[in-house]
Structure 1
Amino acid sequence: MLTPTEQLNNQFFDYIIAGGGTAGLTLAARLTEDPSVNVLVLEAGQANIDDPQLLRPGIYGSHFGNASFTWDHKTIKQKHVNDRESGWSRGKGLGGSSGINFLCYTKPPARDIDDFERLGNPGWNWKNLEQYFNRAEGFVEPTEEYKKRTGVKTETWNVGREGPLKVSFPVSISEAEMRIQQAFANQGIPAAKQPIGGDPKGICFLPNTYDPKTHVRSYSTNAYYLPNKDRPNFKVAVGAHVNRVLTENTRDGSWSAVGVEFTDVASGKTQTVNAKKEVILSAGALKTPQLLELSGFGRIDVLDKIDVPVKVELSGVGENVQDHIFLGLSWELKEDAPFDTLDLLRDPAIAAKHLELHAQGSGLHTIGIVGFSWNSFDMFAPPGKQAEVYQKMEDALGKIDDTAHPGLRKSFEIAMQRFEPGKPGSPGCEFISFPGFLSGPNPPEAGKRYATILVAMNHGFSRGTVHATSSDPLKDPEMDAHYFEQDFDLDIHVEMVKFARKVANTSPMKEMLVAELNPGLEVQTDAQWAEWLKQTFSTTWHTAGSAAMLPRAQNGVVDASLKVYGTSNLRVVDLSVVPLHFASHPQATVYAIAEKAADIIKAAA
């Protein structure tokens, strides 16, 4: 039921959504529940429906570099990490990044969401947003036998069970995963009280976006689009690259979005479609700011350089960019370690066997990334290091230029409360057990199996930028993460990787291991840890904040109704609106933002 792009030129729709990813499809499905409303979704990639390369769970990261499934974005050279570039791949095609992510289903601490409201966004708190998480979720309760075997306890979880997005535990959790969790427990990390109910601090097993009946990925395409594709008021066009929003000045001086211009990727022709009610940008944190700038909304100096007339000066567009980063420590496993790992898939014959097993609902493609430890910095860092890092935060706060960066001081003050010595912190220090090899720089050896602890820092203070450098919409904007510009971000991550090694040297994990492959025991001092970290860390592909929901005077781009300042009917609904990043993989929060946005838009109609 896809709509050919050539049928769209000069057509009218109530709502036009730029981007058919996680947020865009969710929003469109909810808006079209009203049969009197017609919605058009424009997606630059292809449909990729029923493609096993997307649906098969156990092929993490295999999509990167494949132009059929990903946009191969890159940052500029990062001066604080030895001039490394960082690949910022994003999902391309219907479903966006929900079609290529690692299927982890996690939700933020309640306090991190409450920080949205504390930054000036009434109604954006955990209590309010939790209903929207639940609306999306179709959690499938594990069997009693499964719970007994794995120790998973889900009876008290506040999680949605009737939503369209299938969320479940994989077929099995290995004994080795349980040993790793116990090693964290033996280092003093408690069990999480409400792993996906606002209090994830501690160790827990978490579910995946995985359909236990079909054993395939659940994502926005098969959750929100395919069940609703036959609605006559729900139109989706692929191969339609949105170039800019078309606007008109209104009597009250604001700008009204009247449509969008897009390029038909196949023919190269430029077309326009018209919006009777609203235009919504759901192109993600890397492309939404570019669309705003190409449409005349942004910093004057940026717009002047690309020769785009200024419609509304919004100095926050493309600023406030925040990312999560991670890297892995890997250990070779003993031959008798009870761990089926993804390393086996490097053998073509074994990989073929597991494709057959997947069709039967078993094998390596039915395991998942499930073991987590969500820690605040105070749970593992020595008191002296905590005090040192906090002092650096205070020093950074004192250096903020309020004229150049309005609103940054308040953001830092709230972020610092997550690290305040002597008080319970927010669990932004994430440790994940990965069933296989995922680390560097040393490569894996054929025929061997590995266990990896992924170490992810989710509460970084460095702020990056995303800005257009050309009026050509097909040219990527300049993406600058500013990684480790605040040097205490590196200090925090160094303490995290040191703790991961400590856990691996703890029973009952240590009894499974032969040797540490990465980084290797030659890395011992803080300086050595820092150098290895700078050489091997990666983005977690969770970039946020580039069109922040903040008061306009604090460099905000959208208000609490997600409406772009200076406009009457242009909204942003994606991860770019997040004002201060949270400790979680973001897909659940993106679904919740889109669900809430649908209610906001319906109420305004």
Structure 2
Amino acid sequence: MEAFDYIVIGAGSAGCALAGRLSEDKSVSVLVLEAGGSDKNLLIDMPAGWGMTQTPGHAMNWSYQTGPEPGLNGRHVPLPRGKVIGGSSAINGLLYVRGQREDYDDWEAAGAKGWSWREVEPYFLRSENNQTQPGAAHGHAGPLKVANLVDPSPLSATLIAAAIEAGIPASADFNGEQQEGVGYYQATLNGARRCSAAHAYLAPALARGNLTLISGVTVTRIVFDGLRAAGVEYRQNGILKLAAARHEVLLCAGAIASPQLLMLSGIGPKEHLAKHGIPTRFDAPGVGANLQDHLVVPLMWRLKAGQASMNSRLTGVGVLREVLAYWLKKQGAMTMPAAEVGIFCKSSPQLARPDLQFHLLPLSGELESAKKSLHAYPGYTLAPNVCRPTSRGYIRLASADPAQPPQIVMNYLSTDYDIDTTLAGIDWARRIAAAPALAAVTESETYPGATIREREDLLAFARRSGTTGHHPVGSCRMGSDEASVVDTELRVRGVSGLRVVDASVMPLLISGNTNATAIMIGERAAEFVAKARRARLRAGEKHSASMTPSPAAAL
């Protein structure tokens, strides 16, 4: 059994930021435990590689699935999450979006005191190294590289023009003073290469000598000495091992695995734990509750003959040409993130701020069949989602076996607000497609089809075609009330020496993609942890053998 000052469980977006910052203090030792393997892979570096790494069954993907989803006809929805050094920041769509400033004020109003926009903005700026957006709204000295797209498709300019014609203002920066508008997304890019949280934070930290990374392990439980988190039990190459934490265990396994591991360690709803034969260490009904995600509903159109989209460039021999163009020149379709163009707009002009987000893609593909291939003809996709859904799901153990995935139910489209706003997004998509810039080049609507006009038919389309926005959050809610899982410094209630640091602590889903916010949480948590260490040192606490549990007591 080895002992470390801090043990970080999970080398994902928040975990890498947290571990990297903690290791800047050379007097502390940090252990990072990661289930996935090496991130030295072309599919990670090449932005468009996300399309392959998110395929169910890929080695770098946990390949979770939600459901059965009552609001989606009982469907199971694939939910890819990164199982690799860098976590989901290594396989995501690269889009850099902070959300709306009001989102964080809403966090504070919901009980997350000290997490208003004014208080979190410095941590966004600290993390960011924006290569192409000047001004005080962005950071320019942080580790996370952010930049404009490398080689956007000509069709994307047409998509922007149509949205402006439909009444949406142009936006040069979704992370500026206000989010509303249509424009190109920025992405976590270092030149034409992905900049994951591991690239930004973990790689430099590994050179310091006080950070140890062990990958390819399964964390089985958090070990306690009474009510103090004393270490971590994990399995490596079939061997059960134990690492002791002198100060804190920092759980950064993400919105799916963090509540699962808390429950496996005896922190969760008492009755549920008893069903799986797990002794309750602390009865915490909120663990696994409050789960939220964006539901994306893709609408697609076929372009007229002679028009061009990414379809032909990303199928057949076109893929080989594009990979070669990327390899030799760092340009072409393989530089494309999950979407090139975004929209943040209002479902009603009476609203104070946008409640809809769009991902606009210069490609189209099979939607309602098992084969999710791109169309043989040129097309485009307009995919809306509700920015701040009110549907709430849950995570529960399916088994007491740590190697088995938990049950995940998002409860998509379970509220009238989410249904009405989703249908408003479909209406906006059709208005954009009917605008002159797109109408001139569009042949027909592929999905849901021009004959589908009635509310119930459109809702049926959303129920059978909606899919994850890849933004699960909220399952270990942060707050000031006793029902919250963690307090506002991310300490797990009912025990000591344990924090949760990842997207699971978000009380409310933000208006946009979540990677930037998860990294901000990691940055802020590093300060909380450092502050607690300084307080211990002032109190005269010294590193000693007495702080390390004996293997017999821990097991």
**Cross-structure match for 1:406:** none
Identity, in percent, stands at 31
User: Equivalent of 2:315, from 346, 351, 356?
Assistant: 346
How far residue 197 of structure 1 moved from its aligned partner, in angstroms, is 3.0
Contact 1:439/1:452 (8 A) holds in 2: no
1:82 aligns with 2:73: yes
**Cross-structure match for 2:48:** 58
How far residue 155 of structure 1 moved from its aligned partner, in angstroms, is 4.0
**Cross-structure match for 1:525:** 454
Distance change in 2, residues 1:315/1:445 (3 Å): closer
**Cross-structure match for 1:172:** 151
Distance (whole Å) between structure 2 residues aligned to residue 226 and residue 445 of structure 1: 36
Distance (whole Å) between structure 2 residues aligned to residue 367 and residue 91 of structure 1: 19
CA-to-aligned-CA distance 1:320-364 (integer Å, 9 cap, x gap): 111111021111223444x551542111x2211111110212221
**Cross-structure match for 1:572:** 500
How far residue 291 of structure 1 moved from its aligned partner, in angstroms, is 0.8
SS in 2 for 1:567: coil
User: 1:286-325 counterparts in 2 under 5 A?
Assistant: 286-325=256-295
SS in 2 for 1:500: helix
Distance (whole Å) between structure 2 residues aligned to residue 346 and residue 194 of structure 1: 32
**Cross-structure match for 1:408:** none
Distance (whole Å) between structure 2 residues aligned to residue 489 and residue 211 of structure 1: 36
SS in 1 for 2:65: coil
User: 1:177-196 counterparts in 2 under 5 A?
Assistant: 177-192=156-171, 195-196=174-175
1:593 aligns with 2:525: no
CA-to-aligned-CA distance 1:284-341 (integer Å, 9 cap, x gap): 000101111111111111111111111111111010111111021111223444x551
Residue identity matched to 1:363: G
How far residue 279 of structure 1 moved from its aligned partner, in angstroms, is 0.1
How far residue 235 of structure 1 moved from its aligned partner, in angstroms, is 0.5
Distance change in 2, residues 1:445/1:366 (3 Å): closer
1:512 aligns with 2:441: yes
**Cross-structure match for 1:459:** 388
**Cross-structure match for 1:492:** 421
Distance (whole Å) between structure 2 residues aligned to residue 220 and residue 104 of structure 1: 13
**Cross-structure match for 2:94:** 103
**Cross-structure match for 1:385:** none
**Cross-structure match for 1:209:** 188
**Cross-structure match for 2:12:** 21
Distance (whole Å) between structure 2 residues aligned to residue 533 and residue 343 of structure 1: 27
How far residue 556 of structure 1 moved from its aligned partner, in angstroms, is 0.3
Distance (whole Å) between structure 2 residues aligned to residue 193 and residue 344 of structure 1: 27
**Cross-structure match for 2:548:** none
CA-to-aligned-CA distance 1:532-574 (integer Å, 9 cap, x gap): 1111110111111000001233x20000000001122100000
**Cross-structure match for 1:382:** none
1:234 aligns with 2:161: no
**Cross-structure match for 1:73:** 64
Distance (whole Å) between structure 2 residues aligned to residue 325 and residue 77 of structure 1: 15
**Cross-structure match for 2:546:** none
Distance (whole Å) between structure 2 residues aligned to residue 102 and residue 235 of structure 1: 28
Q: What TM-score comes out, normalization by structure 1 length?
A: 0.84
How far residue 17 of structure 1 moved from its aligned partner, in angstroms, is 0.7
Residue identity matched to 2:181: G
How far residue 114 of structure 1 moved from its aligned partner, in angstroms, is 1.1
Contact 2:300/2:380 (8 A) holds in 1: yes
CA-to-aligned-CA distance 1:451-497 (integer Å, 9 cap, x gap): 11111223111111101132211111111111222243122211211
Distance change in 2, residues 1:520/1:583 (3 Å): same
CA-to-aligned-CA distance 1:110-154 (integer Å, 9 cap, x gap): 00111111112221011121111111111112xxxxxxxxxxxx4
**Cross-structure match for 1:120:** 111
SS in 2 for 1:454: strand
Unaligned runs of 5+ in 1: 1-9, 142-153, 250-254, 380-421
How far residue 446 of structure 1 moved from its aligned partner, in angstroms, is 5.6
Residue identity matched to 2:261: L
How far residue 229 of structure 1 moved from its aligned partner, in angstroms, is 1.5
**Cross-structure match for 1:219:** 196
- Count of matched residue positions in the alignment of Structure 1 and Structure 2: 528
Q: What TM-score comes out, normalization by structure 2 length?
A: 0.91
1:433 aligns with 2:356: no
Residue identity matched to 2:221: R
SS in 2 for 1:568: coil
How far residue 69 of structure 1 moved from its aligned partner, in angstroms, is 0.6
How far residue 580 of structure 1 moved from its aligned partner, in angstroms, is 1.0
**Cross-structure match for 1:263:** 235
SS in 2 for 1:36: coil
1:159 aligns with 2:149: no
User: 1:463-478 counterparts in 2 under 5 A?
Assistant: 463-478=392-407
How far residue 428 of structure 1 moved from its aligned partner, in angstroms, is 2.9
Aligned residues: CA RMSD: 1.8
How far residue 173 of structure 1 moved from its aligned partner, in angstroms, is 3.2
Distance (whole Å) between structure 2 residues aligned to residue 489 and residue 437 of structure 1: 25
Contact 2:364/2:374 (8 A) holds in 1: no
Distance (whole Å) between structure 1 residues aligned to residue 318 and residue 172 of structure 2: 39
Distance change in 2, residues 1:190/1:43 (3 Å): same
SS in 1 for 2:167: coil
Return 21-30 or 221-230, whichever deviates more: 221-230
User: 1:407-422 counterparts in 2 under 5 A?
Assistant: 422=350
Residue identity matched to 2:469: T
Distance change in 2, residues 1:436/1:59 (3 Å): farther
